[in-house]
Structure formats: structure tokens, C-alpha cells
Structure 1
Amino acid sequence: MLNTIIMSVLVLKNISSEGPGTMAGYLAQRAIPYSVIDLYAGEPVPVAEEFDMLVMLGGPMSVNDDNSYSYIRQEYELTRRFISQRKPVLGICLGAQIMAKALGAKVFRGPEKEIGWLDITLTTVALRDFRMLKLATHPQGGDVWQRFKVFHWHGETFELPVGAVRLAASDMYANQAFRYGSHAYALQFHIEVDREMVYDWLTSEPIDQTRLTSDTEQFYDVYQKRALAFYESFFSAQKISQTGAGGET
């Protein structure tokens, strides 16, 4: 019988409407234990030593409002702690901005909000990164796309932290993803969304809902498969395994 390595995932949730989405289903299906902490509800931030991997989700607040949202400052510290211990970190949207600021980079409001299904272009570095390569590989044909649709919902952006490598850009924003070291990834776009989340968010912005609904029906299925391939490379490539049932703890 093979020995197993159990690695637990800490998921930090900054607002009720932005949960782990398809990531939760993946982790449960793969029997990877995870805990979701509702920071907005006042749940305490665990210490880094209690978990092996960190995921920080999105939210409408700005990292520059950390005086109003004190838990964001705790996320900075937790990010630095995980990175210093060479534990995997994944930041999504606000989580990516938290990573950037925790690593000393500036986070600022962009010229306009980037919302909907829009292209990103991967850098040559990203095409040599096996996790980003999984995201870039079309799930049907198996060919690698350097430019493809992802789901955006943000109004702020960040400079690249010193020591980080750029992984993706869009027509509007130069920094859509970066890697810091070999274990920490920041994604400005929302890799985790499920259909329910997309349609729920539609009501919060004065946008062309008909077009966004149509785009979601057109692009979502392939995007979800890309996301699952990325999860497999990010979580399972860390030699995560368990013999018992997985799910939120």
C-alpha cells in the first residue's frame, strides 16, 4: 500500500457572494481536505502552520481600504508566512491584489472596470510553466492557446512585485497573472466562477446583461474544463492525496 500525504487547503473568503465555486467541487471530488474561513463574518484567521496551502478569493473592497477591513492586513501577513515557508499560495482577483501588496507592489484603480468574457494573452514564461500550460490547453482539441477567454470582474490592478514573473496580460491591463517563486500564483481573473456566481453578479453592475449571459453560455463549459485542469496541476501536483472522504472541514 502506498503511503499518502495529506495536505490541507485554507480558503479565505472576503465576501459572501465570492466563494470557491468550482474549486470546492474539485477539492471534494479529489478528497482534498479544505476549510473556508468567512473573514467578512468575523471568523478568525488561522495560523499558517495549521494548513499546507492557501487560497485567497475575491471581493469588491480595495486592498487600500485595509483600515476598514482589518482582516486584509492579516491576509498580507499570512501570504508572506506561507511564501516564506514555501507553501503553495493562490490569489484570485482581490486575492491576487493582496498578494501583490503583501510582496511590496502598488495596487491602484484602473482606467475602467474590466468585466465579462475577455481575452488574456499568456507570456512566453507562462507557456513554459506547467500549471499555466494546463490552463492554456484546449480541453477538446488538446492544442495550446496563447490567447483565450477568461472571466473578469475587477476595477483595480497592480504593479508586478519585485522578483515576480508576469504570466498573462489583457488588452486593458498589463498584469493579469504572476508567479512568485515556484509555488505562489496570482490570477486577476476569476478562474473559480460557476454559472450561478456569474448570474448572481450580473445584478450588481450596470452592464449589458443580455450579452454577458450569451457569452457565458458560449464560453463557460470550455472555461470550466480549463479551470479544472489548472486545479489538478496546482493542487494535485503538490502530491496531495488522502484515503478518506474529502470536503470542507
Structure 2
Amino acid sequence: MNIAIVGLGVIGGSFAMGLQAAGYQNIYGIDINEETLLTAETEGMIQKGFRDGKNILQEMDVIILSLYPSQIAPFVEQYQSILKKGAVLTDVTGVKAAIIEQVAEVLPRTVDFVFAHPMRGSEKKGIEGADHKRFIGANVLVTPISSNKETSLKMVEKLYKDIGFAQVTRVTPEKHDEQIAYVSQLMHALSVAVTNSAQASEETLIFAGNSFQELTRIADINTELWSELFLNNRLALLKSIEQFERELNALKKTLEENDEEKLRKIFNQAAQKRREWY
């Protein structure tokens, strides 16, 4: 099986390392950065690297697109005429419905595109941050579409399991976007808002403990990527933000009214839910 990874950043590089560690032999990389390709070749992540796909994609059985959301459909459109018949494409992006709609307009019928989202990202950028061990025990969401073949879905799911993912779950693209808005994008929005608060000062870290450190960790954000993720899923994210605002206002009201009973009720409800989750 010939596999090409397009985009050898943190996630693409980690995939290359994971596939090599799992025993896959024919792994190739495509990236516009010459130094990135040299690093990937030198460290044995890939067999060979290419600046574009024109001399390699026609031979690839699986193509993993580790690209920004805005780059996926244009890439497919650019190379649609040379993709190998029966090839399986897959992505790793954190938004689905909008990207699926864009890809559907340019995807040739001779190939299959399995949309997936590995739930193990990183605030780091570049191949230097690649580490396939981040995938061990992680979850991945696969969002089937009507044109997918079962064999293609199982092939992509096997790749994830082979590189260490513990749980593979199939969900609809709509359900994916709705839940990711809550569990991921809202968390990043909160982290950014807290970090940008006017209350932050040069003395902040004197008073900060682990909770502050953990909450603000993901504010060290890839601005280009997360801007695209937010805007491509803006309606679902707006809904999550509005629901959060209602809960925060309910807590705020207990302080305004000095209502200890309601405040404790809110705390107990959250504590019980957290225990049920973990």
C-alpha cells in the first residue's frame, strides 16, 4: 500500500511516525517547505518527499490530507485528474459539514473521501512538534457520507487503530460539528477570553495556580488554523457560547443576590456531572 501524507506539520508528521512504527513501508510526504521534507526524510518518517503531488499522487492508494480547512477542496480540485482510480482520501480537520460540502463539488467519482477527525491535536506548529505517541489511547471521529464504501471506511479506521488510537467512533457530520463546538472550540474560546481579560497583569503569575495554567494553556493558539475552524463552524459555536453565557449568568445571579443555596446547587450539579464523565 502506498500512502501519501500531505502537510507534514505536527499532525501529519505524527501520522508519518506512527505509520512507520506500525510497520507501514511506503510512506511519502508532500509539503511546500523543503526543510520540512528534508527533516522527514532524514529522520525516517517518510521514504521520499515532494514539493507538490504531480509526480506521486497517481501512484498513491491512500492520501492523508493534513491541511487547513481552506486548503482541502482546492487541493482535491488541483489534482483530481491524476488521482489513482479507487484511491482513498481522508482528512484530519476539526470541522466537517462545511468541508464536506466544498469537497463534494470537486471530488471525482473514481475515488473515495473518508472524513475523519483525530481527537489529539497540539498547540505546537511544525514538524519539530511531531510525536506519534500522542495518538496512543486517543479517540478518532469518522463522519461517513452517502458515497463512502464500507471497505474505505474500514481501511481508514484500521490505519488509526494501527497507530495507537483506542476508540474509533462513527458520527454524522452535523453531530460532529455540534459536539466539537462544545467540547473543543468553546474551550479554546474560553481560554483566549480569560487570557485576554483586562484583569491580566504582570503580577498574574504570582497568584496563578494549576487551574489557571491548565485553562490558559490552549490560548497559545495557531491563529490561522483556529480562525478557520471557528468560522467554518460559526453557527454551532455561537450556539455553544450562548448556552455557556446562560449558565455563567445563572451563577452570576447567585452572587448578585447573595444566594448561597442556589450557588451550592450549581456547584453540586457540576460536580456530579464531572464524576459521571470520569
What band does the TM-score fall into relative to the shorter chain? Answer: 0.3 to 0.5
Q: TM-score, normalised by structure 1?
A: 0.36
Taking structure 2 as the reference length, what is the TM-score of the superposition? 0.33
Higher helix proportion (structure 1 or 2): 2
Higher RCO by CA contacts (8 Å cutoff, separation 6 or greater): 1
Q: More strand by proportion, 1 or 2?
A: 1
Q: Which has the larger radius of gyration?
A: 2
